[in-house]
C-alpha cells in the first residue's frame, strides 16, 4: 500500500493505532500490506492510490450505516480494552477474557430484547455482536437515551 509516515503519524495523533496486514491476516510492513487495521477493523487498501488520513476516515464512515448505534450503546457498555461500543454494535476483543465478556454482552442484549447476530472479524481479533437496526431495536435504543 502507498501510505506516508506522516499519514501514519497523523492517525496516531488522532488516537488511532494502525498497522498493516496481508491477505492472510499476517502483520506486514505498510509497503507490503494490502489491508490497514484501524479502529478494530481491517480495511482493504487501494493498490495504486495513496492512503491518506482523509481517505481512511471517509472509508470508516462510509462502511457504516450504523453510525449512531454506538452512541446508543454507550449507555450500556463503557469502552474498555476488551468490550466497546462500535458502529455495528458491540465488539469484544478476543484476546482478553472472551468467554466472560461475551456472556455479559449477550445477557445484556437479551435482557433488553434486542435482536442481534454474531460473527468474528476477518482476523478473528474481535467477536462482534451485530445489532439489528430494525424499528423495534431502534425504539428500545431510543428509550436508553432518556434513561
Q: What is the DSSP string of the chain?
A: -EE-HHHHHHHHHTT---EEE-TTS-B--TTT-SEEEETTEEEEPPSSSEE-HHHHHHHHHHH-S-TTHHHHHTTT----SSEEE-SSEEEEETTS-HHHHHHHHHHHHHHHT--EEEEE-TTSSEEEEEE--SHHHHHHHHHHHT-
Annotated domain spans of the chain: 2-63, 69-145
pTM attached to this predicted model: 0.57
Contact 47, 30 (CB under 8 A): no
In the predicted structure, residue 64 carries a pLDDT above the cut 80 = no
pLDDT single digits (tens) 76-118: 776 666 888 887 888 888 876 678 889 989 999 999 999 999 9
Q: Which residue has the higher pLDDT, 97 or 20?
A: 20
Contact 35, 56 (CB under 8 A): no
Alpha-carbon gap, residue 90 to 132, rounded angstroms: 11
pLDDT at 146 (0 to 100): 65
Mean local confidence (pLDDT), 48-62: 86
Share of residues in the chain with pLDDT > 90 (%)? 38
Give the gyration radius of the chain's Cα atoms.
Answer: 17
Q: What is the CATH number of domain 69-145?
A: 3.10.28
Amino acid at each position: 500500500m502507498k501510505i506516508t509516515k506522516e499519514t501514519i503519524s497523523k492517525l496516531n495523533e488522532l488516537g488511532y493505532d494502525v498497522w498493516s496486514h496481508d491477505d492472510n491476516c499476517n502483520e506486514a510492513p505498510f509497503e507490503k500490506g494490502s489491508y490497514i487495521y484501524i479502529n478494530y477493523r481491517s480495511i482493504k487498501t487501494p493498490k495504486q492510490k495513496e492512503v491518506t488520513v482523509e481517505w481512511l476516515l471517509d472509508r470508516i464512515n462510509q462502511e457504516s450505516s450504523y453510525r449512531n448505534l454506538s452512541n446508543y450503546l454507550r449507555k450500556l457498555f463503557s469502552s474498555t480494552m476488551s468490550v466497546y461500543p462500535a458502529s455495528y454494535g458491540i465488539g469484544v476483543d478476543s484476546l482478553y477474557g472472551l468467554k466472560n465478556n461475551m456472556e455479559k454482552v449477550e445477557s445484556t442484549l437479551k435482557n433488553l430484547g434486542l435482536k442481534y447476530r454474531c460473527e468474528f472479524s476477518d482476523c478473528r481479533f474481535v467477536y462482534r455482536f451485530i445489532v439489528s437496526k430494525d424499528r423495534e431495536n431502534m425504539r428500545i435504543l431510543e428509550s436508553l437515551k432518556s434513561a
